[in-house]
Amino acid sequence: MDKSKNFENKVIIVDGFSGAGKTILPPIIDAFRNTLLPSFYYELEWLCSLWQSSQISDQVFISMIRNCCDLKIYNQLLGREINSRFYDLSSFWKSSSRFEIIKRLFSKNDKSLYTSKNSDNKILCLTITQAFKTPTIFQKSLGKRLFFIEFVRDPMNMFLQNCILFETVIKGDTRKDFTLRKFDKLTNNLIPAYLEDAKFINKKYSSTEEYIVSMFDYLLDEWEKMYKKASYSNNFLLLPMEQFLIHPEIYMEKISNFIGQDWKESKILKALKIQYLPRKTLTKFEAVPIYKRYGFKKINANNLVDERKLYIEYLFKEKNINKNILKKLNNLSKKYFEWLSSINKFHEDFNNLKKYIDNDNL
């Protein structure tokens, strides 16, 4: 099923679970020279779902990934499939290269757009979601062309967004839910492919909150398995969201090495500044409306510990999350930071926060 020849352009895959914070990165990558317009790519997520549920073979997945990426590169070089909706995060109006994109739209010689000397240097950036089981098969698909970035995050900070997503989209308006799922009549659970082998989905839950907590517990185990399999490769980057917000330079260096451009250039520093990076606390920025719609709350605090205290108080008093759920989330936070510490992905600036979490201050 493979073509005889593929594009050689580099491909950056930005993946993360819902609420893990992955949408912060593509606008920053867009500020590098020679990057094509970052885009969300549900078709890749569907292929991941089919592969995870054994509906397609490894070789079919590998061939389809290569072809999908090639088609996206080709269309982007020609100025096709450009999102022009102004307020979308992936809109070309938000791109630092929007004038180059507009220029492509009016070019009559389409061949020169993808055969010119510079076209092979263009880097494709795709955002997908819930593909945490697939980094190694992506590595087989794209080889040295690939840089796979997996966002992970403290479950406490992912919880509210997932609750809102479940209530307003997955259950509330399924027309907007494009993840492939099956409905289990015995448990009333909507089960996506990446959860089909999970034991927790075989029971009924008294609330969406209880279901999400169990899902996060499973997710933490899967992140650990993923890292053990994928971390041997230089084209895989585990990116803990909290630490990226406070110390983006650690991860920007690794992204720069792949792209081959210094991240300290003015255009990229400006993109970081637009995202309020680096920050002293996690929520110290002015959120766009889409983040607020999915539960973002700016907490006025001077340090990470005080911010967490006030955030938990907000969840309890204003969002009516009961203390039993909050205690379970706190235990998952312990598990999360212990894991990061065990793989040397834990920055010392989070020591006080970790101590606070470990002390069960609820």
**What are the tens digits of pLDDT across the range 175-218?**
988 888 888 888 888 888 889 889 999 989 999 999 999 999 99
CB 285 within 8 A of CB 298: yes
Instruction: Spell out the residues 6+ positions from residue 252 whose beta carbon is closer than 8 angstroms to its own.
Output: 28, 263, 268, 272
Cα separation, 125 vs 35, in Å, equals 7
Query: 235 or 85: which carries more pLDDT confidence?
Result: 235
pLDDT > 80? residue 362: no
Instruction: Give the pLDDT score at 35.
Output: 92
Q: What's the whole-number mean pLDDT along residues 58-86?
A: 89
Cα(21)–Cα(245) distance, integer angstroms: 10
Q: Beta strand pairing status for 146-152 and 124-129? A: unpaired
Question: What percent of the chain is modeled with pLDDT above 90?
Answer: 67
- Specify the pLDDT at position 62: 95
- Read off the pLDDT of residues 45-55 as tens digits, 9 standing for 90 and up: 999 999 988 89
Measured CA to CA, the distance from residue 308 to residue 352 in angstroms comes to 11
Task: Tell whether the torsion through CA atoms of 303, 305, 311 and 314 is positive or negative.
Answer: negative
Query: Residues 317, 320, 321, CA angle at the centre, nearest 5°?
Result: 110
Q: What residues does each domain of the chain span?
A: 11-358
Helix ranges (DSSP H) in the chain: 26-29, 42-52, 58-78, 98-105, 110-115, 135-142, 155-165, 208-230, 241-246, 248-259, 266-274, 289-293, 304-317, 323-342, 351-358
Please report the DSSP string for 135-149 in residue order. Answer: HHHHHHHHGGGEEEE
State whether residue 114 is helix, strand or coil: helix
- Contact (Cβ atoms closer than 8 angstroms) between residue 237 and residue 196: no
Distance (Å, rounded) from C-alpha 231 to C-alpha 234?
A: 7
Q: Residue 264 and residue 252: Cα distance in Å, rounded?
A: 9
Q: What would the pLDDT profile of 20-43 be if each residue is shown by its tens digit? A: 999 999 999 999 999 998 998 889
Q: What proportions of the chain, in percent to the nearest 5, are helix, strand and coil?
A: 55, 10, 35
Provide long-range contacts, Cβ within 8 A and 24+ apart, for 356-360.
356/305, 356/308, 356/309, 357/308, 357/330, 357/333, 358/334, 360/327, 360/330
pLDDT band at 86 (very low <50, low <70, confident <90, very high): confident
Highest mean pLDDT (candidates 107-121, 174-188, 292-306): 292-306
pLDDT category of residue 1 using cuts at 50, 70 and 90: low
170 vs 182: CA distance, rounded Å: 12
Give me the percent of the chain exceeding a pLDDT of 70: 99
Q: CA neighbours within 13 Å on the CB side: how many for 146? A: 26
Q: Which of 283, 71, 276 is CA-nearest to residue 156?
A: 283
**251 pLDDT band (50/70/90 cuts)?**
very high
Mean of pLDDT over the chain? 91
pLDDT of residue 258: 96
Residue 81: helix, strand or coil by DSSP?
coil
What would the pLDDT profile of 116-141 be if each residue is shown by its tens digit?
A: 778 888 999 999 998 999 999 999 99
Structure confidence at residue 83 (pLDDT): 76
Would the pTM of this model clear 0.85, i.e. be above it?
yes
Place of tokens 């099956």: 182
Pairwise CA distance, residues 140 & 66, whole Å: 10
At 171, give phi and psi (nearest 5°).
-105, -30
Task: Please report which confidence band the pLDDT of residue 96 belongs to, taking 50, 70 and 90 as the band edges.
Answer: confident
Q: How far apart are CA 197 and CA 174, in angstroms?
A: 23
